[in-house]
């Protein structure tokens, strides 16, 4: 009825594959590895309840009133202090804008940088929320293959030479969907290749704090070496996603443009949530809280990897996560994970087929498994069911 | 430094005039009629504190987890029930999507409907947040004059014939910036003129609940008579703007597209706030609360109108608000409200010059006054100062 009214961009935007899948997987009998939800253990509920009462008493009507587009100063200062401490970044709150979750960060970056048909380089596979978001700005995606240790350097060189992308979007830590992390060496090589290019590099990092295997944090690509880097962060995986609070760290000139874009998008992010998270962060030990999350995710990841080792045929490959929330499974060449999904759902187990993480590829042989929302026994049972489904394709 | 990277759309978007003005007006000695903030009396702080503790106890981790893009069912149901009761709308929750404030509603509508250079009809003057928002989608605005009783019907006919706009955006109740309300008769005439046009009509209504002068609510243009109507509402002016919660009511097909656009924009609005407002609404008497706000705004509006009558020269025109938050002042032909602003600020009184509410017009002779954030004495003193400044231009 309204077909003639809708914009070209919205008609071109795939409605979420995952949303459709989640509808199927909500039956209680289904073991679902499809979602990307953090475990509720990551929400410090008791502490947040103390904080909400404290901010209500302390700030009165300020927590309910309109506020500034850039975000609450104290929260921006916390981010500055944390990135200075961890990464020795020389930034001030003028380099930080609070966003309505990282998803809005993607939307704002699309608004500020992408003209129709601008080339954007993403990993292959990439985060589907980014693909959907930039699709609304009619970006022309080019994908560069992701290997076990990071971007494929030869393919990266070729992509840059052929397409000259204006912007690259990478998730270097515990990537969604693959769970992979770029090695120190790979990051250095990537930076060597891109450093003289006329290209903005966006590094999205929602999972970086969740390294549960031994090893140090690995510095961002080109950390402290270029003004063309944009860093995204989020409180969704370490405090609460329900408040929709993330942030962008960038050069001030970029922040100024993002501020204009954000003002037109939602004026500002909910200020109650900003006071709440800020109060929580200043009155509690975030790192101690994160340890608790990591301990659980390690157990869950081990359960999944252990079960895959036990039940999967030897020709099925999967990534072994060192952090984050996902493992990525590769079936035999020529098999389709959508076919597997249809068999699996009949055995009451679900996952996300790889298709929506690629640009213009269908019936791929890869799939994403999430392990953060089930206990070890359930995970083992789910993988067992999945291995039964594997026999039928 | 990044000039070559920025998108055309963001370069074309005016950074907010009001934001610049508010920076100047934040000194404590300045009486500011510039903002558009609701009075803190409109935030039911005690009740919200009770509700936040109740939802924390009742719903546990659900108030912190990811949630659905369309919004919390109970909140959508409340909206359905209220619009059924007041307007006899035959809608279900499938006709409602929760947005991150009404500003996001504008952004989503821009995403879903506006192709580059699509004609959009707005009032003259119009809400600057809409102009800014649709500017990012490269809309081609056409303005139709607003008279004391609503849209200028002859100009409307001419605009439709000449430009064939795809979408019209109107604020029929206590408009921002003018404070004007379309009469019953004018609404009927507008609908007669537009009903056979191929045009979506968006009616934004953040102030409709705030009628403080005698008289009934006036039905929307074309209420219950067309599927091409989109209604916007908000909790910002009657409960709290800090939570950033508004909503869109529309045909299901449109809601489906808005859902895709919203998923790409911020996944969903903050779910804690949705639980909070929903709990507040089901456990308190909203209409009684609104009475309290209206009583205060009536006093404040009367103070401003009374002071303007007392101090302003007779050749200065101003609207007499029957609700909402603004009065609109028209200076003599040829005078500039920006000139007045520069004089006024030296006398420690501020307002918003009319310029940003027009498309491509500058140095206009109109200006916006807000009266909801000062007591009667301060309002009188501010208008007195303004009348002094008037003598200098």
| Mean pLDDT value across chain A | 96
Would the ipTM clear 0.95, i.e. be above it? yes
Residue of A nearest to B110 (CA): A7
Contacts of A63 in chain B (CB under 8 A): 242
CA distance A132 to A120: 13
Q: Determine, yes or no, domain membership for B57.
A: no
CB contact under 8 A, A242 and B9: no
**B14 pLDDT above the threshold of 90:** no
Over chain A (393 residues), the average pLDDT of each successive run of 10 is 93 77 80 93 97 98 96 98 97 98 98 97 97 96 97 98 98 98 98 97 98 94 97 98 98 97 96 98 98 97 98 96 97 96 95 94 96 96 98 94
Contacts of B38 in chain A (CB under 8 A): 65-66
Same domain, A292 and A381: yes
pLDDT for B1 equals 86
Contacts of B107 in chain A (CB under 8 A): 264-266
CB pairs under 8 A between A and B: 243
Same domain, B224 and B297: no
Same domain, B241 and B122: yes
Q: Determine, yes or no, domain membership for B270.
A: yes
Nearest to A5 among B37, B166, B241 (CB): B166
Nearest to B100 among A6, A261, A266 (CB): A266
CB contact under 8 A, B266 and A111: no
Question: Which of A283, A302, A336 is where one domain is finished?
Answer: A283
CA distance B217 to B208: 8
CB contact under 8 A, A37 and B257: no
Contacts of B243 in chain A (CB under 8 A): 64, 270, 272
CB-facing half-sphere around the CA of B338: CA atoms within 13 A = 10
Distance of CA A251 to the CA centre of its chain: 22
- Pull the structure tokens for residue B194: 């537009």
CA distance A210 to A292: 10
Nearest to B244 among A2, A115, A269 (CB): A269
pLDDT for B308 equals 98
CB contact under 8 A, B45 and A61: yes
pLDDT for A114 equals 97
Same domain, A226 and A262: yes
**DSSP 8-state assignment for residue B299:** H
Residue of B nearest to A67 (CA): B242
Same domain, B232 and B370: no
pLDDT for A23 equals 73
CB contact under 8 A, B49 and A45: no
CB contact under 8 A, B111 and A264: no
Q: Determine, yes or no, domain membership for A254.
A: yes
**B17 pLDDT above the threshold of 80:** no
CA distance B98 to B274: 9
Q: Determine, yes or no, domain membership for A57.
A: no
The CATH number that applies at residue A236 is 3.40.640.10
Same domain, A72 and A29: no
Interface test with A, best of B264, B273, B289 (most A CBs within 10 A): B264
CA distance B19 to A383: 55
Listed in order, strand segments (DSSP E) in B61-218 are 96-99, 119-124, 140-147, 150-151, 167-170, 200-204
Same domain, A279 and A130: yes
Q: Determine, yes or no, domain membership for B61.
A: no
pLDDT for A16 equals 67
Contacts of A104 in chain B (CB under 8 A): 265-266
Contacts of A115 in chain B (CB under 8 A): 7-9
Chain A nearest-CA distance from B33, in A, is 16
CB-facing half-sphere around the CA of A286: CA atoms within 13 A = 16
CA distance B379 to B367: 16
Q: Determine, yes or no, domain membership for B148.
A: yes
Per-residue pLDDT of B324-373, as tens digits, reads 999 999 999 999 999 999 999 999 999 999 999 999 899 999 999 999 99
CB contact under 8 A, B244 and A268: yes
Nearest to A7 among B111, B256, B265 (CB): B111
Per-residue pLDDT of B170-181, as tens digits, reads 999 999 999 999
Same domain, A186 and A81: yes
Per-residue pLDDT of A306-344, as tens digits, reads 999 999 999 999 999 999 999 999 999 999 999 999 999
Interstrand relation of B167-170 and B200-204 (parallel, antiparallel or unpaired): parallel
Name the residue with tokens 């250095």.
A188
CB contact under 8 A, A1 and B251: yes
pLDDT for B20 equals 72
CB contact under 8 A, A242 and B40: no
Chain B nearest-CA distance from A243, in A, is 5
Residue of A nearest to B133 (CA): A264
CB contact under 8 A, A101 and B242: no
Quote the Cα angle for B225-B221-B93, to 5°.
Answer: 60
Distance of CA A313 to the CA centre of its chain: 30
Residue of B nearest to A200 (CA): B5
Determine phi and psi for A213, rounding to 5 degrees: -95, 160
Contacts of B103 in chain A (CB under 8 A): 263-267
Assess whether the previous peptide bond of A117 is cis (omega < 30° from 0): no
Per-residue pLDDT of B65-111, as tens digits, reads 999 999 999 999 999 999 999 999 999 999 999 999 999 999 999 99
Same domain, A209 and A345: no
Q: How far is CA A5 from CA A81, B165, B166, in A?
A: 48, 11, 7
Q: Determine, yes or no, domain membership for A48.
A: no
Question: Which of A268, A283, A298 is where one domain is finished?
Answer: A283
CB contact under 8 A, A253 and B48: no
Per-residue pLDDT of B302-327, as tens digits, reads 999 999 999 999 999 999 999 999 99
Chain A nearest-CA distance from B58, in A, is 12
pLDDT for B24 equals 77
**DSSP 8-state assignment for residue B38:** P
Q: Give just the sign of the alpha carbon dihedral A106, A107, A112, A118.
A: positive
Same domain, A101 and A27: no
Q: In terms of residue numbers, what domain contains A270? A: 65-283
Question: Which of B229, B264, B283 is where one domain is finished?
Answer: B283
SS3 content of chain A, % helix, strand, coil (to 5): 45, 15, 40
Contacts of B70 in chain A (CB under 8 A): none
Contacts of A9 in chain B (CB under 8 A): 111, 115
pLDDT for A368 equals 97
User: What's the structural domain count of chain A?
Assistant: 2
Same domain, B312 and B335: yes
Same domain, A203 and A224: yes
Q: Determine, yes or no, domain membership for B48.
A: no
SS3 content of chain B, % helix, strand, coil (to 5): 45, 15, 40
């Amino acid at each position: 009825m309204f077909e003639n009214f809708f914009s070209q961009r919205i008609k071109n935007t795939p409605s979420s594959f995952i949303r459709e899948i989640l509808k199927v997987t909500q039956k209680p009998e289904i073991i679902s590895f499809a979602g990307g939800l953090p475990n509720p253990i990551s929400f410090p509920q008791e502490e947040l309840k103390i904080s909400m009462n404290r901010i209500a008493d302390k700030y009165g009507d300020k927590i309910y009133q309109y506020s500034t587009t850039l975000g609450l100063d104290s929260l921006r200062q916390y981010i500055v202090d944390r990135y200075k401490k961890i990464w020795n970044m020389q930034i001030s709150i003028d380099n930080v804008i609070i966003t309505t979750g990282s998803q809005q960060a993607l939307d704002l970056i699309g608004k500020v940088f992408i003209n129709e048909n601008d080339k954007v380089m993403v990993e292959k596979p990439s985060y589907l929320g980014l693909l959907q978001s930039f699709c609304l700005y009619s970006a022309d995606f080019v994908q560069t293959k992701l290997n076990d240790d990071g971007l494929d350097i030869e393919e990266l060189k070729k992509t840059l030479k052929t397409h000259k992308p204006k912007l690259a979007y990478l998730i270097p830590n515990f990537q969604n969907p693959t769970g992979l992390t770029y090695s120190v060496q790979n990051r250095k090589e990537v930076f060597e290749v891109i450093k003289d290019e006329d290209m903005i590099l966006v590094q999205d990092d929602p999972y970086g704090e969740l390294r549960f295997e031994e090893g140090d944090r690995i510095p961002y690509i080109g950390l402290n070496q270029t003004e063309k880097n944009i860093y995204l962060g989020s409180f969704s995986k370490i405090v609460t996603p329900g408040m929709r609070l993330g942030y962008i760290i960038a050069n001030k000139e970029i922040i100024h443009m993002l501020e204009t874009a954000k003002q037109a998008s939602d004026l500002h992010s909910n200020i109650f949530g900003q006071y709440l998270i800020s109060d929580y962060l200043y009155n509690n030990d975030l790192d101690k809280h994160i340890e608790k999350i990591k301990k659980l995710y390690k157990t869950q990841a081990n359960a999944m990897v252990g079960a895959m080792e036990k039940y999967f045929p030897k020709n099925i490959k999967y990534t072994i996560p060192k952090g984050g929330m996902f493992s990525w499974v590769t079936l035999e060449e020529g098999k389709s994970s959508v076919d597997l999904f249809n068999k699996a759902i009949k055995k009451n187990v679900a996952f996300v087929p790889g298709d929506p993480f690629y640009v213009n590829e269908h019936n791929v042989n890869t799939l994403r498994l999430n392990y953060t929302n089930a206990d070890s026994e359930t995970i083992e049972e789910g993988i067992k069911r999945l291995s039964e489904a594997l026999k039928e394709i």
